[in-house]
Amino acid sequence: MLIRSLEIQGFKTFPDKTVLQFNNGITAVVGPNGSGKSNISDAVRWVLGEQSVKTLRCTKMEDVIFNGTPQRKAQGFAEVTLNIDNSDRRLPFDKDEVAVTRRYYRSGESEYLLNKAAVRLRDVNELFMDTGLGRDGYSIIGQGRIDAIVSARSEDRREIFEEAAGISRYRYRKAESEHQLDAAEENLVRLRDILSELE
Ligand code: ATP
Protein backbone atom coordinates (compact mmCIF):
# COMPACT_ATOMS: atom_id res chain seq x y z
CA MET A 1 0.00 0.00 0.00
CA LEU A 2 1.48 3.34 -1.06
CA ILE A 3 0.12 6.83 -0.75
CA ARG A 4 0.30 8.15 -4.29
CA SER A 5 -1.06 11.67 -3.92
CA LEU A 6 -3.01 14.05 -1.76
CA GLU A 7 -5.46 16.57 -3.21
CA ILE A 8 -6.33 19.50 -0.98
CA GLN A 9 -8.84 22.24 -1.70
CA GLY A 10 -10.24 24.86 0.66
CA PHE A 11 -8.47 23.20 3.62
CA LYS A 12 -6.63 25.53 6.03
CA THR A 13 -3.80 27.26 4.06
CA PHE A 14 -4.85 25.70 0.71
CA PRO A 15 -7.65 27.77 -0.87
CA ASP A 16 -6.85 26.51 -4.38
CA LYS A 17 -6.74 22.90 -5.44
CA THR A 18 -3.24 21.64 -4.59
CA VAL A 19 -2.00 18.17 -5.55
CA LEU A 20 0.99 16.65 -3.76
CA GLN A 21 2.52 13.64 -5.51
CA PHE A 22 4.42 11.11 -3.43
CA ASN A 23 6.94 9.09 -5.39
CA ASN A 24 8.85 6.05 -4.17
CA GLY A 25 11.31 6.84 -1.40
CA ILE A 26 11.19 9.66 1.08
CA THR A 27 9.31 12.92 0.54
CA ALA A 28 10.33 15.91 2.62
CA VAL A 29 8.28 19.09 2.88
CA VAL A 30 10.26 22.22 3.66
CA GLY A 31 9.11 25.78 4.13
CA PRO A 32 9.18 28.77 6.48
CA ASN A 33 7.49 28.66 9.87
CA GLY A 34 3.73 28.95 9.59
CA SER A 35 3.69 28.27 5.84
CA GLY A 36 1.43 25.22 6.19
CA LYS A 37 3.70 22.15 6.39
CA SER A 38 1.85 20.61 9.33
CA ASN A 39 -1.45 21.43 7.64
CA ILE A 40 -0.53 18.73 5.11
CA SER A 41 -0.36 16.02 7.78
CA ASP A 42 -3.55 17.49 9.31
CA ALA A 43 -5.18 17.00 5.88
CA VAL A 44 -4.15 13.31 5.87
CA ARG A 45 -5.48 12.83 9.41
CA TRP A 46 -8.69 14.65 8.53
CA VAL A 47 -9.47 12.70 5.34
CA LEU A 48 -8.99 9.47 7.31
CA GLY A 49 -11.83 10.53 9.59
CA GLU A 50 -10.18 12.44 12.45
CA GLN A 51 -12.97 13.85 14.65
CA SER A 52 -10.89 15.52 17.33
CA VAL A 53 -10.62 19.26 16.66
CA LYS A 54 -7.79 19.40 19.18
CA THR A 55 -5.76 16.86 17.21
CA LEU A 56 -6.43 18.93 14.09
CA ARG A 57 -5.20 22.03 15.98
CA CYS A 58 -8.58 23.76 15.67
CA THR A 59 -11.22 24.93 18.12
CA LYS A 60 -14.18 23.82 15.98
CA MET A 61 -14.45 21.69 12.84
CA GLU A 62 -15.28 24.74 10.71
CA ASP A 63 -11.71 25.98 11.35
CA VAL A 64 -10.39 23.47 8.81
CA ILE A 65 -12.02 25.52 6.03
CA PHE A 66 -9.82 28.25 4.52
CA ASN A 67 -10.92 31.33 6.45
CA GLY A 68 -9.77 34.03 4.05
CA THR A 69 -7.11 36.69 3.94
CA PRO A 70 -7.33 40.44 3.19
CA GLN A 71 -6.80 39.47 -0.48
CA ARG A 72 -8.96 36.34 -0.72
CA LYS A 73 -12.41 35.56 0.51
CA ALA A 74 -13.05 32.54 2.72
CA GLN A 75 -14.09 29.26 1.12
CA GLY A 76 -17.45 27.60 1.69
CA PHE A 77 -16.11 24.08 2.06
CA ALA A 78 -12.96 22.02 2.47
CA GLU A 79 -12.20 18.89 0.49
CA VAL A 80 -9.31 16.45 0.74
CA THR A 81 -8.71 13.28 -1.30
CA LEU A 82 -6.07 10.68 -0.50
CA ASN A 83 -5.13 8.47 -3.47
CA ILE A 84 -3.70 5.10 -2.50
CA ASP A 85 -2.07 2.38 -4.59
CA ASN A 86 -3.73 -0.77 -3.28
CA SER A 87 -2.30 -3.25 -5.79
CA ASP A 88 -0.99 -5.35 -2.86
CA ARG A 89 -4.57 -5.43 -1.44
CA ARG A 90 -3.43 -4.32 2.01
CA LEU A 91 -6.74 -2.51 2.20
CA PRO A 92 -9.69 -4.89 2.17
CA PHE A 93 -11.09 -3.26 -0.98
CA ASP A 94 -10.88 -5.05 -4.31
CA LYS A 95 -9.43 -2.21 -6.38
CA ASP A 96 -5.85 -1.28 -7.35
CA GLU A 97 -6.57 2.40 -6.78
CA VAL A 98 -8.42 3.63 -3.71
CA ALA A 99 -9.45 7.28 -3.36
CA VAL A 100 -10.82 8.43 -0.01
CA THR A 101 -12.47 11.85 0.03
CA ARG A 102 -13.84 13.94 2.85
CA ARG A 103 -15.81 17.13 2.29
CA TYR A 104 -17.02 19.54 4.95
CA TYR A 105 -19.29 22.56 4.42
CA ARG A 106 -19.66 25.63 6.61
CA SER A 107 -23.27 24.54 7.22
CA GLY A 108 -21.82 21.57 9.15
CA GLU A 109 -22.78 19.10 6.42
CA SER A 110 -20.13 16.49 5.80
CA GLU A 111 -19.49 13.73 3.26
CA TYR A 112 -17.13 10.78 2.88
CA LEU A 113 -16.53 9.15 -0.50
CA LEU A 114 -14.72 5.97 -1.47
CA ASN A 115 -13.78 5.97 -5.15
CA LYS A 116 -16.40 8.72 -5.59
CA ALA A 117 -19.23 6.70 -4.00
CA ALA A 118 -20.75 8.05 -0.79
CA VAL A 119 -19.89 6.01 2.31
CA ARG A 120 -20.20 6.40 6.08
CA LEU A 121 -17.42 7.43 8.43
CA ARG A 122 -17.47 3.94 9.92
CA ASP A 123 -16.76 2.47 6.45
CA VAL A 124 -13.62 4.63 6.25
CA ASN A 125 -12.63 3.64 9.80
CA GLU A 126 -13.14 -0.06 9.10
CA LEU A 127 -11.22 0.11 5.82
CA PHE A 128 -8.07 1.43 7.50
CA MET A 129 -8.32 -0.56 10.70
CA ASP A 130 -5.17 -2.62 11.40
CA THR A 131 -3.22 -0.88 8.62
CA GLY A 132 -1.59 1.63 10.96
CA LEU A 133 -2.80 4.45 8.73
CA GLY A 134 -6.29 4.94 10.13
CA ARG A 135 -7.55 7.56 12.52
CA ASP A 136 -5.99 5.81 15.52
CA GLY A 137 -3.00 4.50 13.57
CA TYR A 138 0.64 5.11 14.30
CA SER A 139 1.73 6.24 10.81
CA ILE A 140 1.42 9.92 11.60
CA ILE A 141 3.69 10.85 14.47
CA GLY A 142 2.96 14.41 15.50
CA GLN A 143 5.13 16.66 17.64
CA GLY A 144 5.04 15.43 21.24
CA ARG A 145 3.58 12.05 20.26
CA ILE A 146 6.71 10.09 21.23
CA ASP A 147 6.62 11.61 24.72
CA ALA A 148 2.92 10.78 24.94
CA ILE A 149 3.55 7.13 23.97
CA VAL A 150 6.41 6.73 26.44
CA SER A 151 4.37 8.16 29.31
CA ALA A 152 1.03 6.59 28.29
CA ARG A 153 -0.84 4.13 30.50
CA SER A 154 0.09 0.55 29.61
CA GLU A 155 -3.52 -0.10 28.37
CA ASP A 156 -3.22 2.81 25.92
CA ARG A 157 0.20 1.68 24.79
CA ARG A 158 -1.16 -1.82 24.18
CA GLU A 159 -3.64 -0.37 21.64
CA ILE A 160 -0.71 0.75 19.48
CA PHE A 161 0.75 -2.77 19.48
CA GLU A 162 -2.68 -4.25 18.79
CA GLU A 163 -3.09 -2.02 15.74
CA ALA A 164 0.37 -3.11 14.51
CA ALA A 165 -0.43 -6.78 15.19
CA GLY A 166 -3.65 -6.46 13.20
CA ILE A 167 -6.13 -7.33 15.94
CA SER A 168 -7.88 -3.96 16.40
CA ARG A 169 -10.49 -5.06 13.84
CA TYR A 170 -11.45 -8.06 16.01
CA ARG A 171 -11.52 -6.02 19.21
CA TYR A 172 -13.81 -3.51 17.46
CA ARG A 173 -16.11 -6.25 16.13
CA LYS A 174 -16.23 -7.94 19.56
CA ALA A 175 -17.26 -4.65 21.20
CA GLU A 176 -19.90 -4.12 18.53
CA SER A 177 -21.30 -7.67 18.99
CA GLU A 178 -21.38 -7.22 22.78
CA HIS A 179 -23.30 -3.98 22.28
CA GLN A 180 -25.83 -5.76 20.05
CA LEU A 181 -26.16 -8.61 22.57
CA ASP A 182 -26.84 -6.10 25.36
CA ALA A 183 -29.52 -4.43 23.23
CA ALA A 184 -31.11 -7.83 22.45
CA GLU A 185 -31.03 -8.73 26.16
CA GLU A 186 -32.81 -5.48 27.03
CA ASN A 187 -35.46 -6.16 24.40
CA LEU A 188 -36.01 -9.66 25.84
CA VAL A 189 -36.47 -8.27 29.35
CA ARG A 190 -39.03 -5.79 28.02
CA LEU A 191 -40.81 -8.54 26.09
CA ARG A 192 -40.97 -10.78 29.18
CA ASP A 193 -42.50 -7.89 31.16
CA ILE A 194 -45.20 -7.37 28.52
CA LEU A 195 -45.89 -11.12 28.36
CA SER A 196 -46.27 -11.41 32.12
CA GLU A 197 -48.67 -8.45 32.10
CA LEU A 198 -50.78 -10.17 29.44
CA GLU A 199 -50.89 -13.52 31.28
P1 ATP B 1 6.03 25.42 11.75
O2 ATP B 1 7.25 25.22 10.89
O3 ATP B 1 6.13 26.64 12.59
O4 ATP B 1 5.62 24.19 12.51
P5 ATP B 1 4.13 24.96 9.58
O6 ATP B 1 4.75 25.25 8.26
O7 ATP B 1 3.99 23.53 9.98
O8 ATP B 1 4.83 25.80 10.72
P9 ATP B 1 1.29 25.09 9.91
O10 ATP B 1 1.20 24.89 11.38
O11 ATP B 1 0.97 23.92 9.02
O12 ATP B 1 2.72 25.69 9.54
O13 ATP B 1 0.36 26.27 9.44
C14 ATP B 1 0.03 27.34 10.29
C15 ATP B 1 -0.66 28.40 9.47
O16 ATP B 1 -1.89 27.90 8.97
C17 ATP B 1 -0.96 29.65 10.30
O18 ATP B 1 -0.44 30.76 9.60
C19 ATP B 1 -2.46 29.70 10.32
O20 ATP B 1 -2.94 31.02 10.27
C21 ATP B 1 -2.81 28.97 9.04
N22 ATP B 1 -4.17 28.42 9.09
C23 ATP B 1 -4.67 27.49 9.93
N24 ATP B 1 -5.98 27.28 9.70
C25 ATP B 1 -6.32 28.10 8.66
C26 ATP B 1 -7.54 28.35 7.96
N27 ATP B 1 -8.68 27.73 8.27
N28 ATP B 1 -7.51 29.27 6.95
C29 ATP B 1 -6.37 29.90 6.63
N30 ATP B 1 -5.19 29.72 7.25
C31 ATP B 1 -5.17 28.83 8.26
Q: What is the ipTM of this complex?
A: 0.96
Q: Please, is 195 exposed, middle or buried when counting C-beta atoms within 10 Å of its C-beta (0-12, 13-18, 19+)?
A: exposed
**35 annotated as belonging to a binding site for a ligand:** yes
Q: Ligand 1 atom 2: the closest Cα is on which residue?
A: 33
- Does the annotation place 110 within a ligand binding site? no
> Sorting pLDDT into bands at 50, 70 and 90, what band is 190?
very high
36 in contact with ligand 1, CB cutoff 6 A: yes
- Nearest ligand 1 atom to alpha carbon 63: 27
**Segment 64-93 mean pLDDT:** 96
11 lines ligand 1 (CB under 6 A): no
What is the four-CA torsion angle of 146, 3, 101, 176, rounded to 10 degrees?
-60
- pLDDT of amino acid 149: 82
**Tell me: the pLDDT tens digits for 113-163?**
999 999 999 999 999 988 888 776 778 887 777 888 888 888 888 888 888
Q: How far, in Å, from the CA of 184 to the mean position of ligand 1?
A: 48
- So what's the pLDDT on residue 133? 82
- For residue 36, report the distance from its CA to the centre of ligand 1, in Å: 5
Please give the pLDDT value at position 14.
97
Judged on CB neighbours under 10 Å (0-12, 13-18, 19+), 36 is middle
Instruction: Select from 38, 41, 65 the residue to mutate for testing ligand 1; criterion: most ligand atoms less than 8 Å from CB.
Output: 38
Q: Is 15 annotated as a binding residue?
A: no
Q: What's residue 147's pLDDT?
A: 84
Q: Reply yes or no on whether the pLDDT at 68 is more than 80.
A: yes
Spacing, Cα 173 to ligand 1 middle (Å): 37
The SS3 call for residue 135 is coil
